[in-house]
Structure 1
Amino acid sequence: MTMTCYHALRLLALLPLLLLLGNAEANESNTNKTLSPYFQVAGDDEALPLQETRAQVDIAGVIASVNIRQVYQNSGNDPIEAVYVFPGSTRAAVYAMTMTIGERRVTAKIKERQAAKAAYQQAKKAGKRASLLEQQRPNVFQMKVANIMPGDRVVVELAYSELIVPEQGVYEFVYPAVVGPRYSELPVYGASDSDQWIANPYLHQGEKAPYAFGVEVSLAAGLPIQSIMSPSHDVTVAYDDHGAAKIGLKSAGADNGNRDYVLRYRLRGEEIETGLLLHRGETENFFLLLAQPPERVVNAAIPPREYIFVVDVSGSMHGFPLDIGKKLMVELLSRLRPTDGFNILFFSGGSSLLAERPLPATENNIEKAIEMMESQRGGGGTRLLPALQRAMRQPAASGVSRSFVVVTDGYIAVETDVFDYVKRNLNNANFFAFGIGSGVNRFLIEGLARKAGAANPSSSRRRTKRCRPRNVSATISKLRC
């Protein structure tokens, strides 16, 4: 991506500089120097142009919208070009950038990398004020601002959004503030443009950033907030109501920018919580529905469940893969509750059922299922689609959460037909897939998880998730909850 972007701890003004590379390297030619970061000391008459970088963060539910404002000013006597390397979130989607000089406001355009660089160089040579944003790594950006004239005050604004994914009930927003120095053995001479940023100067521990740094967060959680804290900075928290708050920095010191800004918050989760956020746009209106699971799920809150296991016993499963499949089935069956219902459909070229109707998960029925599973030897073709169709025709009880669990190595040639069938039936059941063996057909297993969910965004991701139960061999390929 090439445009214009973010904030952090790097600045390079193209004026006479003293480069301190150490005695061993000071007299060497460029062909022997590497891209490892170096010191950069400005002359007495040079004014570093970055004055401040500030972020306004608006969090609505699980979506963070970040607006960054950077101010450059040349208080020296010569035109300069500022080159500024700064970090970004690996999950960010940059969608807007503007540059304001005096009364003139310019909106950036996204272009192919080489075309954008050529346009920037052309404007620079013509003496025009221009800016260029380049993504050097998924989490490293480089901003160039050309022809900052003496006395010029340039304001660059960048906007991006990202999704906040909670882990163990904790929501975390991170605003990166530091690009750590990279070790590199690449020579300066001949290094590609995308690697030249590595040789940027950097601040050392104890040095204060030569610009102001600030972050303000407006949080609209949509649900009652239990707690807010920052492990990285001293913050102030002002609650607007139970589900909204404003978070600021206690001090505006320059040292706020020498580490990443981390904000964590919890939502109340003793019971299932739901919330609705509304937004009125210029041409469209939007809503965001939120559902927070309880901290602990009690058995009484779990609805009646029914599992139909669709188990591959074809020739490709013979031996080791089927042995692993048997262990998996023992693990899954042993975790069913007595109030759950289940059935097993074994398939190869044809198919057979454990029972004509789902059975209650009693101890006797589970023993019967394990015995039938242990008797399988593996042989014949792999007709997964007819097996799914037969399993789906099983009579369904009313008021029951129904799930189909596919256990296979995936060695079929009609993957897309299976995907289409699952997509059409997402409203009738949940789907889970387990890949068995050392060479699983990942296109099928991952496609069941990914493509089915993408085809019906309104359906829960749990419908197509891949899980790995505990105490089962690692030969169950890439399965995680």
Structure 2
Amino acid sequence: VKQRFENPSQHWVEGIYTFPLPEGAAVDQLRMMVGERVIEGQIREKREARKIYSSAKQQGKRAVLLEQPKGNFFTTRVANIAPQASVQIVFSYQTMLDFKDHGYSLRVPLVATPQYDPNARRGLPAFLSKEHQIAYRDIGEPDSNPVRLHMDLGAGMPVERIWSDSHTLHVDKQSDSHFQVTAGDSENRSNRDFVVNWRYAEKAYSQVSLFSEPVNGEYYNMLMLMPPAPSSSIEHGARELIFVLDVSGSMQGASIRQAKQAIRSALANLDSEDRFNILFFNDTAWSVFASSRKATSRNILEARSALDRQQADKGTEMTAALTLALTREDDALFRQVVFITDGAVSNEDALLGLIEKMLSTTRLFTVGIGSAPNSYFMRRAAEAGRGTFTYISDLSQVKQNIQRLFEKINHPALTDIDIALDIPFSDLMPNPTPDLYMNEAGYLLFKTPTRPSEMQIEAQHDDSPAYLQQRVGQTNSVKGIAVEWARQKIQHFTERALNTRLDDRDRFKSQATELALKHHQVSKYTSLVAVDVTPVRAGADLFSQKLRSNLPQGWQSGRSDSRVYHLAQTATSAPWMTQAGLVWLGIAMALLLITRLRVVQGAISRG
């Protein structure tokens, strides 16, 4: 990812820019371009990196600091940008791609929805410090921060179709499996997420594939599982299905319309023996029925009537909604919760801790609505809830996506997955292992002292035990497995540090920090910093400028309180600085998907 900070003023400037990346991004490389020279970033503990950057800034040296304040939010700081000059930085990240419905999907967030902070209404300190809060342009103000999007796609197998629901694409076919993909010239506004999908011509895949990456005498392994199709004759048992709909102010406009259509489609998929309820929330949470009811025509009609009356307004107090949704009424019923929201909250860590505490055997499915939902929170919530995350950006695709989701909900393909190897293994991630659903691949990562040669997999399939024993043979060596394993393990330690007893927090924080330093990754506790040794500013004042982001396409704030939605204005050191800091973003993404025989192998993308 390239970011160029331009300073059109006559003053020395520090540029500050907070932005989202894909929710699984592992940022591990940073470079600052100074003329013909390239200055490599170094990973440091967060406080040390800040000290190095602050010292360089005061000494008049060019410097860059890349931090991860939370989730998928990152902040770049560039010190000592000369008048009428620009500084370009380049950083790299790796992310896992989702394989589902015979292909892959890549989503690159280009803007973040303004996030509700429940502490602001209570007069408490914000969950996200002011320096990392995104500053937005005013409604009606022309968009800034143009973006150029190019993807070099080596798909590994013949591709049947490439498309985007968010942008117009120009596709230059190099071969059946190699394409140059560019967003149209008119699609350069960074006001919605960039989504590109590709589907393979081949529809038959191996059920099990194993990849390894040797690093410093250890083997990092990735097991890819493609579950068998569930039997069409299997009927799902009695269940309780709870819909939770966000009707807060951030859902105004297209988002609430899409969400209502999604639930209408979902209600049409209920069986008469299902029990259901609909919960709504903004500042408070309430439900259509006092307790779940059978999906009779009368009850569905009453629920639809209540749904039609809802308007998007007020704050996003998600804690009450999650508590209500995860409170079980009947332990005998299999419980599924479908949570439909844009996820515009800033207290993700506290909410994830609540989910972990209350979930029990409930399965949680999240549906992201709008042009730029908080996918980090919704994906992590679904992972914790052993469900799936569905993103819907195109109103015309709502019914199709919800029907596909319900096919998966009705028939989980593999549950209670357990693996065994012929050699010891450790640090299995994710933990607990997720359920796998129809036409979706699952990935398990773990460490071994040598390459495995045989494995056993046990699971539940169609409510019956399933068992597979397979010799691995020669495993493929794939770069990036160690990076992804480390990212997941760092995230695991970080979440434990935030949601555990006070006397255990320092231990988990120390483990996360140590692992991030070892694997050169930006985290909540580590940052990348690059400093040019040559001072360029002597004596002149330095003004700090927070660069403003566009509001998401279709977002309205007429009835939203800017104090609780972090609609901070640009932080300037003088009135003339309002237009001083401009940023141009060019994102060049190169994807390499590894293939072996007839198997779609690997889902590691480096941007």
Shorter-chain TM-score range: 0.3 to 0.5
Larger radius of gyration: 1
TM-score when scaled to structure 1? 0.45
TM-score calculated relative to the size of structure 2: 0.37
